[in-house]
Structure formats: C-alpha cells, structure tokens
C-alpha cells in the first residue's frame, strides 16, 4: 500500500509540474504570436485553397489563386518576423524535449534529448517563403498542397513546444486527419532535410 501511495504522489507531482511548465510555454508562445495575425492568415489561406480546389472552372480557380497570393505573401512576411522576434529569446526558454512524453525539467536535466525552438521556427519560415516564391516551379494545386503541409508541420512544432510530441501528433490526427510522417513527407525537400536533422539531433 505504501508503494501505491508513493506512486500516486509521484504521478500527481509530475502532472502538476508538467502542467506548470506547459502553461509557461503556452504563455510565452502566445505572447509573441499576439503581435501578428498568423493564425488568421493561415485559416484564410487554407479555406481559400479548399474553395479554389472545389471550383469547376479553370477561370474561377485562377481568380482565387491570384487573390490568395497576397495572403500567402502576408503570411510569409509575418511568420518571418515572428521567427526573428522569437530568436531573441534566451536558449533556456526555447528548448524542446525530443522525448515522446513530457518529463518535468527535461530541457535542463537531459539537454542532449532536446532541440531549439528558435531553429525550428527559422526552418519553417524558410519553408513557407520558398513555397510563396515558388522556387520549385510547382503548379498552383501542388503549391497549395505543399504550403498546407508546411503550415501544418509548423503548427505541429508549436504544439510540441507547448505540450509534447505525442500530444502534437494526436492533435494533427484529430484536427486534420494527417499523421506526422505524412506532414514531413509532404513539405519541400529543403524543409524536410533541415527539420529531420534538427529533431534527430544533427
């Protein structure tokens, strides 16, 4: 019985410490995002892509693609500024645990099992910019697919920073029916290579 009580106390303490750390991370990320309209632009863009893909005529689709180009440019510019702003934070605030489940103070106790959120955001900013600039000369439909993947992978990173990789992956499945591996496979090769190197400890 004593062992059971001890296990319950440890589990409760771990949960409370994790919750406190997660609240701090959510507040930190939210504070920086509040200066931008990134979430609003993301929603407008993904909804616009769905409208364009649902149109029956090439002319109407072209009109919507053209209108969305402004939103894409605004999103890329704002996200680049957000990433640069977040990069000013101290590294002690921006480490992310690679462990599947959250462990209190893992970023300090197990630094070799972490990566830097600042570097992750820089990778996402470059990936979004490359799609906007269409450096791969993709057709509009393929660009929309790749941009959506870039945005969802960035969103996954933000959830990972605030909670854990397991929770971030579960949220992607619940909200977008998209596994993490599929997101990684769907972004540009440049984003994929840089991202995998970062999260795998390269």
Q: Record the pTM.
A: 0.87
pLDDT of residue 29: 93
Tens-place pLDDT, residues 136-190 = 889 988 999 999 999 999 999 999 999 889 999 999 999 989 999 999 999 999 9
- Cα distances (Å, whole numbers) of residue 139 to 35, 64, 99: 33, 14, 38
């Amino acid at each position: 019985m004593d062992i059971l009580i001890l296990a319950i106390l440890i589990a409760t303490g771990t949960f409370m410490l994790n919750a406190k750390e997660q609240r701090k991370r959510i507040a930190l990320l939210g504070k920086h995002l509040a200066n931008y309209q990134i979430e609003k632009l993301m929603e407008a863009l993904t909804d616009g892509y769905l409208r364009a893909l649902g149109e029956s005529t090439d002319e109407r689709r072209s009109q919507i693609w053209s209108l969305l180009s402004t939103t894409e440019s605004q999103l890329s510019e704002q996200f680049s500024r957000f990433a640069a702003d977040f990069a000013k934070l101290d590294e002690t605030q921006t480490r992310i645990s690679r462990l599947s489940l959250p462990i209190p103070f893992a970023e300090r106790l197990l630094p070799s099992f972490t990566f830097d959120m600042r570097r992750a955001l820089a990778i996402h900013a470059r990936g979004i910019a490359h799609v906007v600039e269409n450096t791969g000369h993709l057709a509009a439909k393929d660009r929309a697919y790749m941009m959506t993947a870039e945005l969802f992978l960035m969103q996954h990173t933000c959830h990972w920073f605030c909670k854990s990789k397991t929770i971030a992956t579960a949220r992607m499945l619940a909200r977008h029916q998209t596994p993490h591996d599929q997101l990684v496979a769907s972004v540009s090769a440049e984003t994929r290579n840089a991202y995998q190197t970062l999260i795998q400890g390269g």
